[in-house]
Structure 1
């Protein structure tokens, strides 16, 4: 039993290409429906997962997503943990700023994903990799 309550075994999806980003979205949508998230919350979670899976691929050089069902007795939710062994993020504060991009995107990936979920955690080390954990709870 964790602080969040019971956590079911995670479904793991490797992220090594564009098709895997699509698979992550499908896996998250299925999990969100099973957790009885509202349609709006399903869409928010799938959008956040899509952004984070793309970041894992583009900036982290690939990695994995682990999708877990949570149940703390009072409510259910979904936790997704994205991890890579890429270059890491040298300036987390800057990376979480709206409009910042180290590539050709709109700069809404990390900051946008953070706004779409209930809980957002980012751990990174330059030269080691990045792990982003997001949680969305059913209302």
Structure 2
């Protein structure tokens, strides 16, 4: 990751405690919708403005869809880290699929193994402040992304 975070589940709007980390399954098309709504609500709770809410929800949608389509399903965990007075939202997307054989290539815009446009991983990386991938061929992929408020 590009920075350090406490990993603590604290930080909602106005300094009030945020909800505990929440994990959502990604096994069906309906789960993708549920994840989008949960992430949107979490961005509001963390105090993000509309533009940053959209960035985070878009990244979450891309990553959850990848876990569903390419990883055979997985989970999305939402956390609320704090760092140097800033609030953030951290998404951890896990699957137990085949892994990403060539991560560098997968991050290049236009690269796709399916019918998509090939902006998923690279796009998610650009939308978030921190982006970390742990992938092992045959064992699955974990992607952790974080976006911080400017306050």
Instruction: Please give the TM-score of this superposition, normalised by the length of structure 2.
Output: 0.88
Aligned to 2:69: 58
Structure 2: 5+ residue stretches without partners: 10-19
1:78 is aligned, of 89, 103, 117, to 89
Moved more, 72-81 or 45-54: 72-81
Matched, 1:4 2:5: yes
For the residues of structure 1 that align with 2:8 and 2:146, how far apart are their CA atoms? Answer: 12
Q: Which structure 1 segments of 5+ residues have no match?
A: none
Q: Deviations over 1:17-68 (max 9, x none)?
A: 1110111111111110011011100000000000000000000000000000
C-alpha distance in structure 2 between counterparts of 1:120 and 1:27, whole Å: 20
Aligned match of 2:140 = 129
For these two proteins, the number of residue pairs brought into alignment is: 137
Cα RMSD of the aligned pairs, angstroms, is 0.9
Query: 1:68 aligns to what?
Result: 79
Contact 1:68 1:80 in 2 (8 A): yes
The range that moved more, 64-73 or 54-63, is 64-73
Q: Is the 8 A contact 2:77 2:91 kept in 1?
A: yes
TM-score (norm 1): 0.96
